[in-house]
Amino acid sequence: MDTFARRLIGGLVACALFACGRDRAAERSDVEILWDRWGVPHIHAVDEPALFRGFGWAQMRAHGDLLLRLYGTARGRAAEYWGETFVDSDRWIHTVGVPARAAEWYAEQSPEFRACLDAFAAGINAFGREHTDELAPDVRVVLPVDGVDVLAHAQRVLQFLFLAHPSQLGGGRAPSGGSNAWAIAPSRSANGRALLLANPHLPWGDAYTFFEAELACGELDVSGAALVGFPTLGIAFNTRLGWTHTVNPQDGVDLFELVPDADGYRWNGERRAFDVERVELRVRGDDGELSTREFDVRRSACGPLVDVAPGKLVALRVVGLDRPRALQQWWDMARAQDLAAFERALSAQQLPLFSVVYADGVGHVLYDFGGLTPRRSDQTTDWTRPVRADSDAVVWHEYLTSAELPRVVDPPSGWLQNANDPPWSATEPPTLFADDFPSGLAPRSISLRAQRSIELLRADESIALDELVAYKHSSRMGLADRVLDELLPLASASATERVRRAASVLERWDREARAESRGAVLFATWVSRLGASGQLFANPWDPQKPLETPDGLADPIAACAALDAAAATLEKQGLALDVAWGDVYRLRGGGHDLPCNGAMESLGVFRAFEFASERDGKKRVVGGDSFVAAIEFADEPRAFAVMAYGNASQSGSPHRFDQLPLVASGQLRPVLRGRAAGEAECVEREFVPPR
């Protein structure tokens, strides 16, 4: 027998053995995953626990290193695993009580959902056992995980990153986040079908990373995205309905300044002692040896003491720490089959924050302010600053009910929107008014990005799905429309030649942040220089002109001087005054280096990105547009989506930043739903081992 024949027979035998092994795996497994070309898992399971187990397995395959780092951090043991740089993180986690409270939350889950949490953790552990070599050596120590770890991670992200980020409490700046959301009723859509736009803007990486998936079990088929490490989809749609979230402008965090009394504090007219817990941290040194650090956590009637004001006793209180079933609520929302069931899920009020924008196949659209708002004792107090507290009368223990919060269903306009603005601008003409709700519930003014959102919706009486996608990618700078008409005549008449040249560039500019737009870089640089020197607008936001203000230049002379400085800055960098936006603002990752379409939200752009400076003088996207989905509801929903940074972060994955070219070109890809579509587009089939 010649060599070719031997190889042929050997190959056939190998294929037969592989097929036989796969068939045996299929017989044993109750979870099948069909991976498509974009790294999106389509998970089919026989029951809900199996579905959760498959989701845990899939997340590990795509984001295993990240997931385990996040879980290790939420345990408050990151310094033990990874060294000195994580000591402050561990101190914070124990100060706010995440590990102990997560254990309490786990005990308070329903037996059915606790089984799902355990199954999700089991999927994580199973992947870790089967594919240890695919994980970074330093994260394997986190395994195994359990349901308490899942809840600790969710608590850390929702309460202590989104709401009470430690850097923000200290007067610093928390990582930027935001979102756009639209719901279009049949009366406003081109074909009489409801439309939904989901468009969160979050930092690109770490705990803010999304993972897209389809979860199918029995009659349930739900698609969408979850934050990595979360067992339930947070932005999703099923066959009949869907929703998205925006971070709502609520105040769910309070700082209370206590009155010292010896080694305690004054409370209800008496001295009260702090509850003190001694916490022991283990810290890994550079040599791998572990040392021990100890510190005390002091807790008061208002919450734990936090180090945000030297010399003062300041306690932190955050909403939702007494509401342990946020993940259960998301799962109930995913399983809802009509508006009534969806609203029942919302009424549980377990999510500590997030507005909800919803649409369904029947044609209903909904905006719900969402989240938890404290029922505060004094609505005249400025609760954005530390509040003096010396009695129970000051501290809140209840929340406004869902019936007391702003909500709109099926408005006459036929559309709803939110771009992190207050509820009063959810639709037009407005149906919600600030005076009808508790003072301080939400601000009254709306951002330029939100105004741009409303302008886009007002301008089209009949919106088709492809138009929805086009509007989502709008890069017009709303700020330019408020100031250029005043700036340009002044700058064109300037005695300074460079200012006149700059004015000529801005005059020709299309006022967009498209990759090819010339003048946008100059404008953004001018805004930065002028903003650093003082007030920009002559006329602040006016509730009587909510979509026309702010506008005008506060100081025209300073504005012209800032334009001269901006032009000089570009010339010093070796850039033409009319350099194309995409030549400077870039989409980079996974070997890609592409021109960006879209800009900072402060410029009034609907397609918002955040940038960081690179060594070569370019600006790289580090946040903003992340997961995008546009859905049309019919008997079978039709949807398109993109995950800007790709659906995997694991080293070596082909899906790290593989969707970045779609982002650069303003395109979405079809969302595959159902077994038939998954089978047709499947590039890899996987059977999850049984527990």
Topology annotation, domain 178-250+328-379+399-472: Glutamine Phosphoribosylpyrophosphate, subunit 1, domain 1 (3.60.20)
- Rounded Cα distance between 520 and 479, Å, is 11
Report helix, strand or coil for 136. Answer: coil
Residue at 41: amino acid letter: P
Residue with the larger pLDDT of the pair 30 and 171: 30
Q: Identify the three-state secondary structure at position 418.
A: strand
**What mean pLDDT comes out for the span 404-410?**
97
Per DSSP bridges, beta strands 619-625 and 195-203 are antiparallel
Residue 5's pLDDT is what? 44
Question: Cα separation of 370 and 245, whole Å?
Answer: 9
At the top level of CATH, the class of 478-605 is: mainly alpha
Q: For residue 135, which phi and psi values (nearest 5 degrees)? A: -105, 145
358 neighbors 138 (Cβ within 8 angstroms): no
Q: Residue 20's pLDDT is what?
A: 44
Beta-ladder partners of 197: 182, 630
pLDDT of residue 509: 98
DSSP characters for 624-654? EE-EEEEEE-SSS-EEEEEETT-S--STT-T
Mean pLDDT to the nearest integer, 389-411:
96
Q: Give the chain's mean pLDDT.
A: 94
Would you state the pLDDT for residue 171?
Answer: 62
Phi then psi for residue 213, to 5 deg, are: -160, 160
* Mean pLDDT in residue range 333-342: 98
Sign of CA dihedral 373, 379, 380, 386: negative
Residue 289: CB atoms within 10 Å: 8
Q: Find the mean pLDDT for residues 168-181.
A: 73
Tell me the CB-side half-sphere exposure of residue 689, using CA atoms within 13 A.
12
In the chain, where does the domain assigned CATH 1.10.1400.10 lie?
478-605
Mean pLDDT lowest among 122-136, 195-209, 432-446: 432-446
Q: What are the CA-CA distances from residue 631 to residues 47, 217, 359, 470 (Å)? A: 26, 21, 9, 13
Task: List, for residues 10-45, the tens digit of each pLDDT value.
Answer: 444 334 444 444 566 666 789 999 999 999 999 999
Q: Running DSSP on this structure, what letter comes out for residue 304?
A: B
Element (H, E) at 360: strand 355-360
Angle subtended by helix axes 326-335 and 339-347, to nearest 10: 180
Sorting pLDDT into bands at 50, 70 and 90, what band is 373? very high
Query: What is the 8-class DSSP label of residue 518?
Result: B
Q: How far apart are CA 642 and CA 661, in angstroms?
A: 10
Dump pLDDT digits (tens) for 646-680: 999 999 999 999 999 999 999 999 999 999 999 99
Q: What's the helix, strand, coil split of the chain in %, to 5?
A: 40, 25, 35
pTM of the model: 0.95
pLDDT tens for residues 262-282? 999 999 999 999 999 999 999
- What residue spans in the chain does CATH classification 3.60.20.10 cover? 178-250+328-379+399-472
Residue 4 confidence (pLDDT) above 80: no
**Band of the pLDDT at 176, cuts 50, 70, 90?**
low
Query: DSSP labels for 457-482?
Result: HHT-SSB-HHHHHHHHT--B-HHHHH
Segment 587-616, tens digit of pLDDT: 999 999 999 999 999 999 999 999 999 999
In this prediction, residue 1 carries a pLDDT of: 46
pLDDT at 584: 98
Of 548 and 440, the one with more pLDDT: 548
CA distance 273 to 313: 13
Task: Look at residues 111, 166, 250, 188 and name the one whose alpha carbon lies nearest to residue 413.
Answer: 188
Residue 237 has pLDDT above 90, yes or no: yes
pLDDT over 70, % of the chain: 95
Q: Which strand (E) or helix (H) includes residue 457?
A: helix 448-458
Q: What is the pLDDT of residue 19?
A: 44
Cα torsion 504, 508, 512, 515: sign: negative
DSSP state of 607: S
| CA–CA gap between residue 300 and residue 274 (Å, rounded) | 6
Could you give the strand order of the β-sheet that contains 253-258, starting from the edge strand earlier in sequence?
Answer: 313-318, 253-258, 387-389
Residue 162 DSSP label: I
Higher pLDDT, 385 or 514: 514
Which tokens is 568 given?
């000089």
pLDDT for position 24 = 61
